[in-house]
């Protein structure tokens, strides 16, 4: 049986970000250095000034989220931090951003104390040494990165998370102050990621009474959001619950398939998930609701995206999908290889 770990502490609500100073002051005990991993979108913006960065000591890394986080980026960040901290380690890591940035912060905290290359830790429970204390501040909700035990990264041939108890945030701050920074399409794609986490968790075999309760409540909150006005605080809770549901059960068919799109074609997670989920009605009846939501918000998914993609790239996407044994076994059972063949994956990809 798996012993499930959740986030240690959370702060939620307007102005909860103001508590960050006290949290960090309490941590500045050894090197007194804090590392901030901030989405590059916020560089020079007003919100950055609200993060209590000590300009004399702290290290700020702007996470370039143009592409999804790669293991080599993490190796680079870790090297940079180690060279700036000399022989010491930072007292805390603060991640500020959406899923890509939060996952980067999680991976940095793990890799500062564990030897070797980041790609060696992509998988399940491969992290042996305790990570650095870390705080996650979400600026875009939906991915569930704030509550999950995974830091999803791409390396040369795989998109796979560092799934470990050491990747879980010690503290999160959910302050709706960031909601105005999110464009509509990104809001929808990200909320759809949350929607899919719940659907995959509920329809798999790895769930339990806990994860079912989280996923059902998260879906209920999403339905309220999509039938009324956008409510960012509700979305933050839906995202958190969806992340918990999926972290303590597993994803299903959509995530593995979407990883091929991200790895080979460079699509960001939210849109890759939407493009993929759109084709999975035979497995997930709730795809109907998903299509209605896209229509309601006038979000048009790109069409014919595989038109000019080479056969080799399609095969590479199939390989990337098939690496995800645990999620696919969660979705189809132990004989998943017979049920989800290369041909089936190819036909789904070619419909996109
Ligand atoms: Zn996801």
Cα–Cα distances in Å, from 287 out to 276, 283, 291?
10, 9, 6
CA-based R_g, the chain, Å: 19
The model carries a pTM of 0.92
Lowest average pLDDT, out of 38-52, 105-119, 132-146, 302-316, goes to: 38-52
First-to-last alpha carbon distance for the chain, in angstroms, is: 38
Residue 194 belongs to some domain of the structure: yes
Spatial separation of the C-alpha atoms in residues 316 and 320, rounded to whole Å: 6
> Which of 181, 196, 221 delimits the end of a domain?
181
Q: Is the pLDDT of residue 47 over 90?
A: no
Question: What's the confidence (pLDDT) of residue 279?
Answer: 98
Residues 298 and 341 occupy one common structural domain: yes
Report the candidate in 274, 278, 299 with the shortest Cα–Cα distance to residue 288: 278
Give 11's contacts (C-beta < 8 A, 6+ positions apart): 19, 171, 172, 173, 174, 175
Residues 24 and 37 occupy one common structural domain: yes
Question: What's the confidence (pLDDT) of residue 228?
Answer: 82
Question: What's the confidence (pLDDT) of residue 323?
Answer: 92
- Which residue(s) pair with 136 in the sheet? 95, 172
- What does the pLDDT look like over 246-273, one tens digit per residue? 988 999 999 999 999 999 999 999 999 9
Spatial separation of the C-alpha atoms in residues 274 and 264, rounded to whole Å: 16
Ligand 1 centroid – CA 227 distance (Å): 22
Give 338's contacts (C-beta < 8 A, 6+ positions apart): none
Residue 122 belongs to some domain of the structure: yes
Residue 244 belongs to some domain of the structure: yes
Structure tokens at 234: 């509700």
Q: Is the pLDDT of residue 68 over 90?
A: no
Give the relative orientation of helices 184-203 and 269-277 as an angle to the nearest 10 degrees: 60
Q: Which residue has the tokens 């793990």?
A: 110
Residue 79 belongs to some domain of the structure: yes
Ligand 1 centroid – CA 242 distance (Å): 9
Residues 162 and 212 occupy one common structural domain: no
Residues 62 and 206 occupy one common structural domain: no
Q: Is the pLDDT of residue 94 over 90?
A: yes
Question: What's the confidence (pLDDT) of residue 229?
Answer: 75
Share of the chain above pLDDT 70, in %: 100
E-strand ranges in the chain read 9-12, 34-39, 59-63, 92-97, 123-124, 134-138, 150-154, 159-163, 171-174
Residues 211 and 113 occupy one common structural domain: no
Total domain count for the chain?
Answer: 2
> Which of 144, 162, 181 delimits the end of a domain?
181
Ligand 1 centroid – CA 270 distance (Å): 7
Rounded to the nearest integer, the mean pLDDT of the chain is 94
> Which of 127, 150, 181 delimits the end of a domain?
181
Residue 4 belongs to some domain of the structure: no
Residues 75 and 210 occupy one common structural domain: no
For residues 159 and 259, the answer to whether their CB atoms sit within 8 Å is yes
Q: Report the CATH number at residue 207.
A: 1.20.1090.10
Residue 191 belongs to some domain of the structure: yes
**Domain span at 315:** 184-350
Spatial separation of the C-alpha atoms in residues 42 and 62, rounded to whole Å: 8
Residues 28 and 126 occupy one common structural domain: yes
Ligand 1 centroid – CA 150 distance (Å): 10
- pLDDT band (50, 70, 90) for residue 330: very high
Residues 168 and 225 occupy one common structural domain: no
Question: What's the confidence (pLDDT) of residue 92?
Answer: 98
Ligand 1 centroid – CA 344 distance (Å): 22
Q: Report the CATH number at residue 48.
A: 3.40.50.1970
Ligand 1 centroid – CA 342 distance (Å): 22
Q: Is the pLDDT of residue 46 over 90?
A: no
Ligand 1 centroid – CA 89 distance (Å): 31
Mean pLDDT calculated for residue range 235-246: 95
Residues 167 and 269 occupy one common structural domain: no
Ligand 1 centroid – CA 273 distance (Å): 7
Lowest average pLDDT, out of 13-17, 188-192, 230-234, 324-328, goes to: 230-234
Give 7's contacts (C-beta < 8 A, 6+ positions apart): 136, 146, 147, 168, 169, 170, 171, 172
Ligand 1 centroid – CA 161 distance (Å): 11
Mean pLDDT calculated for residue range 305-309: 96
Residues 109 and 188 occupy one common structural domain: no
Residue 3 belongs to some domain of the structure: no
Residues 170 and 206 occupy one common structural domain: no
Question: DSSP letter at 310?
Answer: -
Residue 1 belongs to some domain of the structure: no
Residues 145 and 228 occupy one common structural domain: no
């Amino acid at each position: 049986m798996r012993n499930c770990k959740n986030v240690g502490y959370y702060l939620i609500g307007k102005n909860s970000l103001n508590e960050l100073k006290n949290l960090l002051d309490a941590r500045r005990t050894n090197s007194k250095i804090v590392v901030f991993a901030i989405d590059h979108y916020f560089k020079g913006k007003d919100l950055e000034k609200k993060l209590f960065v000590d300009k004399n000591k702290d290290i700020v890394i702007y996470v370039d989220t143009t592409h999804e986080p790669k293991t080599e980026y993490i190796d680079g960040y870790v090297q940079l931090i180690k060279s700036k901290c000399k022989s010491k380690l930072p007292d805390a890591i603060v991640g500020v951003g959406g899923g890509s940035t939060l996952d980067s912060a999680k991976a940095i905290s793990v890799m500062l104390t564990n030897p070797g290359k980041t790609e060696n830790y992509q998988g399940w429970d491969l992290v042996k040494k305790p990570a650095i204390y870390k705080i996650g501040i979400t600026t875009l909700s939906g991915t569930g990165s704030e509550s999950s035990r995974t830091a999803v990264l791409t390396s040369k041939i795989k998109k796979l998370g560092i799934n470990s108890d050491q990747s879980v945030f010690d503290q999160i701050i959910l302050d709706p102050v960031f909601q105005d920074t999110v464009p509509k399409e990104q809001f929808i794609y990200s909320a759809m990621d949350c929607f899919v986490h719940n659907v995959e968790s509920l329809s798999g075999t790895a769930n339990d009474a806990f994860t079912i309760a989280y996923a059902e409540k998260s879906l209920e909150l999403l339905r309220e959001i999509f039938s009324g006005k956008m409510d960012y605080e509700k979305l933050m809770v839906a995202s958190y619950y969806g992340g918990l549901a999926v972290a303590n059960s597993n994803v299903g068919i959509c995530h593995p398939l979407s990883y091929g799109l991200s790895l080979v074609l460079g699509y960001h997670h939210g849109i890759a998930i939407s493009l993929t989920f759109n084709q999975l009605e035979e497995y997930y009846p709730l795809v109907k609701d998903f299509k209605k939501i896209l229509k309601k918000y006038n979000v048009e998914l790109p069409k014919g995206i595989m038109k000019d993609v080479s056969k080799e790239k399609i095969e590479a996407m199939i390989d990337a999908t098939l690496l995800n044994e645990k999620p696919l076994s969660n979705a189809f059972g132990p004989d998943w290889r017979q049920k989800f063949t290369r041909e089936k994956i190819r036909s789904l990809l070619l419909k996109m």
